[in-house]
Amino acid sequence: MKKISSFTVLIISLMLLLICNSAKANMASPFIEGTKAASAISSRHVDILHESIFIQIDENFHTAKYKVEYTIKSDVVGKQIPLLFCAVDYKDDFCVWLDDRPVKVFDIPFKKEEGEESSDSIFSDFTNSCDRCDDNNRKIECRWDDNTSETYYSFEMKYFQPELSQGTHRIRMEYTAYPWRNCLDWITKYNFRYSLSPAKKWKSFGTLDITVEQAGKIKDYSSNLGKPQEGGIKQINTWHFDSLPEDEFMELTYKPEPNSYAKILLTFGPEGLAAVYGIFLFLLHLKFITCYRKSNRQKRFSWVVILGSILVPFFILLFFIYSYSIIDFVIGKDASQRHGYIALIIIFYPIILPFYWVLMWLIDKRIKYKMLHQQEK
């Protein structure tokens, strides 16, 4: 009796350990925001003649190099702030060039410190571009998709203050962006976004050119920009606009194709895989019951029935939990890994166990009856 109790404790301990190890639910938001960047905010002394956006996407669609160039015409001479930049959560550095010469970029202070430029003086030439929200700060609204717009405040913006001559100049900014991620499905959907909303308040809007270049194998991404000038998705695609696009934002979306093994597993899903595994365990359990009865026909109870009835339902549910990780592993780096509290499926164990136990007890009883009947003959 003591041996049976020790064995039972060991089995229960192992089962609890397996449950705890599998209960790693990821209930984080399925939507992960990436880099938030927008067209520059223009001074009232500046005409923007042309905006050129060049986006170089890496081979995995995991980062993109943004090179945005403005051709401006300045009406005044001297030290001034021609543009304000809005970029949040980018990778590495944010760099700016004026007429191909690098310039130092500053963050707008949240509050004026001694020796710093005040927010009010910085915004004195941007009264038509930004809305006042209090004495120290201004704000601008940027649109990221059809349903999302966000307010950005002055302390989230950047500026530079060069000596400008009257006439035409080129201002270029560069940074590396992270994609926004949609993890609602098994495979992560990536998209790069760029808000064009600030251009609505420019003194003038000239033309806009957008170029997207892919590294590595061509990926069939989608965009809200309409049909590219090349007619379809190529290694390099271009778009040209003579007015601000109606959407006021740019979005490039890509969902990777699963490999052939992942496609098979996704066709079955965790439920199908658990069902196949369950049938296998049932047949294996049935075989052990039959083998046990061949040499123990007179015994009233079968320890194989009892132990199997405890373990088989548990391992089916456990396999169902682990099947999510198996599918994620086969999908690879693009797996979303957002599946919620799947380990809670284990609450069905006390419900399934008695039904399975009764079923196997009846089967064992039938096998025992047949074997005894054959023995009598």
Residue-by-residue DSSP string for 192-238: EEEE-GGGGGSS-EEEEEEEEEE-SS----EESS-S-TTSS--SEEE
Dihedral in degrees, nearest 10, Cα atoms 86, 90, 91, 96: -10
Which is it for strands 64-74 and 41-42: parallel, antiparallel or unpaired?
A: unpaired
CB of 177 closer than 8 Å to CB of 64? yes
**What DSSP designation does 98 have?**
E
Q: How far apart are the C-alpha atoms of 239 and 245, rounded to whole Å? A: 11
Q: What is the pLDDT of residue 3?
A: 46
Q: How far apart are the C-alpha atoms of 170 and 86, rounded to whole Å? A: 18
Q: At what angle do helices 2-22 and 303-331 cross, to 10 degrees?
A: 20
Chain position carrying tokens 């190890």: 21
- Which domains occur in the chain, in start order? 2-28+259-376 (no CATH), 33-254 (2.60.40)
* pLDDT by 10s per residue, the chain, length 377: 444 455 555 555 555 555 555 555 555 678 888 988 888 887 878 888 999 999 999 999 999 999 999 998 888 888 888 888 888 888 988 999 999 899 998 887 655 554 444 455 556 666 565 555 554 555 566 665 666 666 666 667 788 888 888 889 999 999 999 999 999 899 999 999 998 888 887 888 889 999 999 998 999 999 998 899 998 899 999 999 998 888 888 899 999 999 999 999 999 999 999 999 999 999 999 999 999 888 877 787 889 999 999 999 999 999 999 999 999 999 999 998 888 777 778 888 889 999 999 999 999 888 888 877 766 65
Q: What is the pLDDT of residue 131?
A: 56
Q: What is the pLDDT of residue 235?
A: 94
Q: What is the pLDDT of residue 366?
A: 87
Give CA angle at 341 (9, 357), nearest 5°: 45
Q: How far is CA 111 from CA 64, 119, 139, in A?
A: 33, 8, 15
**What DSSP designation does 102 have?**
E
Q: At what angle do helices 303-331 and 349-376 cross, to 10 degrees?
A: 130
**What DSSP designation does 125 have?**
G
Q: How far apart are the C-alpha atoms of 272 and 226, rounded to whole Å? A: 40
Give CA angle at 295 (290, 300), nearest 5°: 80
